[in-house]
Amino acid sequence: MLCALAAAPTLAQSARPLRVVASFSILADIVRNVGGDDVEVAALVGPGADAHVFQPSPADALRLAQAQLVLINGLGFEGWLDRLVSASGYRGPVVVASKGIAARLRGSEPDPHAWQDLSNAVRYAENVRDALSLARPASTAHFEQRAAIYIQQFQALDDKVRARFFAVSKDSRKIITSHGAFGYFGAAYGVEFLAPQGMSTDSEASAAVVARLIDQIRHQDVRAIFVENITDPRLVERIAREGGAAVGGRLYSDALSPPGTEADTYLKLFAHNALTITSALSAGQH
């Protein structure tokens, strides 16, 4: 088996972290948690940035060219990916982290924001674990162990979030955010999210939709209004003002916050959003 021996990596090669590129910051954090020291992960769309309108640069193509594994969300989230992959010359695997998740549909289009449900995040972590194991079989046990611990953290947080929502009245759970990023969150915890923009941020909100939202606030049909970290807050602020209500805070929709701040990991992001929403729903409850 001389050729097999020759093909086996040296110790130094196998000890080098696997170079992974994730399409956006939330997925990069999931990869970091499952991969630990065995991976080195970079995000194309970083903290606070909007993947819907991302325009890759030559530096992104270079980063992709040097990657050994690329992980994306899928469900139509990264419309710019195919062109970037061909521009970069990257020939390795491109793995869809949302594989196996039952997508919510709006019309015929899948809602890409599946990470806004912790039970879907379990599937993301499993898909990441499997992709990393395939790319670095020697570390499979390590990835399995880390993924199992991480998934337990999702389940513990989900229990906590469910308990918080259980304590909030079932009526008037309507909330306004900038774009339709919280359909999965709403379905998981029984909240209805309204938004001036649709599932993507790449088109303008229609005047009719904006007028309807203002009307709903005036009729006190909406319990809370939030801006998002990835979108310009001015439209939501105007809707709140014209409806005679205040903005209740900021939600993290499609990206983490910068390192060292309140939502710099997926788990912190989710806990922050849940706490912010339940606090707003509880305020003024009789």
In the complex, the smallest distance separating the C-beta of residue 101 from Zn ion, rounded to whole angstroms, is 16
| Residue placing its CB nearer to Zn ion in the complex, 52 or 164 | 52
Q: How many Å apart are CA 69 and CA 72, to the nearest integer?
A: 10
CA nearest to 130, candidates 140, 115, 118, 142:
140
In the complex, the smallest distance separating the C-beta of residue 111 from Zn ion, rounded to whole angstroms, is 9
In the complex, the smallest distance separating the C-beta of residue 99 from Zn ion, rounded to whole angstroms, is 19
Q: Does 254 bind Zn ion (CB under 5 A)?
A: yes
| Residue placing its CB nearer to Zn ion in the complex, 30 or 181 | 181
| Interface pattern 51-80 for Zn ion (x via CB under 5 A) | ------------------------------
Of 19-27, 36-44, 173-181, 206-214, which part binds Zn ion (CB under 5 A)?
173-181
Q: How many Å apart are CA 134 and CA 138, to the nearest integer?
A: 9
Measured from the Cβ of residue 45, the count of other Cβ atoms closer than 10 Å reads 26
With both helix axes pointing from N to C terminus, report the angle between 234-243 and 207-218 in degrees, rounded to the nearest 10: 40
Of 30-38, 143-151, 154-162, 253-261, which part binds Zn ion (CB under 5 A)?
253-261
Contact 141, 48 (CB under 8 A): no
In the complex, the smallest distance separating the C-beta of residue 217 from Zn ion, rounded to whole angstroms, is 22
Of 18-26, 159-167, 187-195, 252-260, which part binds Zn ion (CB under 5 A)?
252-260
Among 43, 61, 181, 240, binds Zn ion (CB under 5 A): 181
Q: Which residues are within 8 A (CB) of 273 and not within 5 positions of it... i.e. 6 or more apart? A: 116, 185, 251, 252, 263
Strands 227-228 and 192-194: unpaired
In the complex, the smallest distance separating the C-beta of residue 212 from Zn ion, rounded to whole angstroms, is 21
| Residue placing its CB nearer to Zn ion in the complex, 49 or 65 | 49
C-alpha distances out from residue 136 to 69, 85, 228, Å: 10, 22, 37
CA nearest to 182, candidates 167, 195, 172:
195
| Residue placing its CB nearer to Zn ion in the complex, 60 or 254 | 254
Helix then strand count (H, E) for the chain reads 11, 11
Number of residues that bind Zn ion (CB under 5 A): 2
| Residue placing its CB nearer to Zn ion in the complex, 143 or 182 | 182
Q: Give the residues across from 106 on adjacent strands.
A: 109
Q: Which residues are within 8 A (CB) of 36 and not within 5 positions of it... i.e. 6 or more apart? A: 142, 146
In the complex, the smallest distance separating the C-beta of residue 88 from Zn ion, rounded to whole angstroms, is 24
| Residue placing its CB nearer to Zn ion in the complex, 53 or 275 | 53
| Residue placing its CB nearer to Zn ion in the complex, 29 or 254 | 254
| Residue placing its CB nearer to Zn ion in the complex, 43 or 132 | 43
DSSP characters over 76-126: T--TTHHHHHHHHT--S-EEETTTT----EETTEEP--GGGSHHHHHHHHH
In the complex, the smallest distance separating the C-beta of residue 92 from Zn ion, rounded to whole angstroms, is 27
Of 18-26, 80-88, 151-159, 249-257, which part binds Zn ion (CB under 5 A)?
249-257
Q: Does 135 bind Zn ion (CB under 5 A)?
A: no
List interacting residues with Zn ion (CB under 5 A). Answer: 181, 254
